[in-house]
Amino acid sequence: MSPLKEAAIVTIKRMPDECTAEDIMREVSFTIRVFDSLKHSQHGERISSAEMLKINKIWDNDF
């Protein structure tokens, strides 16, 4: 099983039983974004703090 898939499963298992589908999507989406960011970082790709803040605002509007 891929590390990303394992992380998504762990994320879901840690959530409370009364969570909504939207809660699950938000948390799994965050996990995917963290994995993508780590992958880019390992390849030497970096962005400024200002760019990251802009991306976070976009992410917040996804849900």
Q: How many helices (H) and strands (E) does the chain have?
A: 3, 0
pLDDT value of position 28 = 93
Top mean pLDDT of 17-21, 36-40, 42-46 is at 17-21
Where are the chain's structural domains? Answer: 3-60
Average pLDDT over residues 2-15: 92
Top mean pLDDT of 31-35, 44-48, 49-53 is at 31-35
4-35 core/surface letters (b: 16 or more CB in 10 A; e: else)? eeeebeebeeeeeeeeeeeeeebbbeebeeee
* pTM attached to this predicted model: 0.66
Q: Which long-range contacts (CB under 8 A, 24 or more apart) does 12-18 make?
A: none
How many C-beta atoms lie closer than 10 Å to residue 37's C-beta? 15
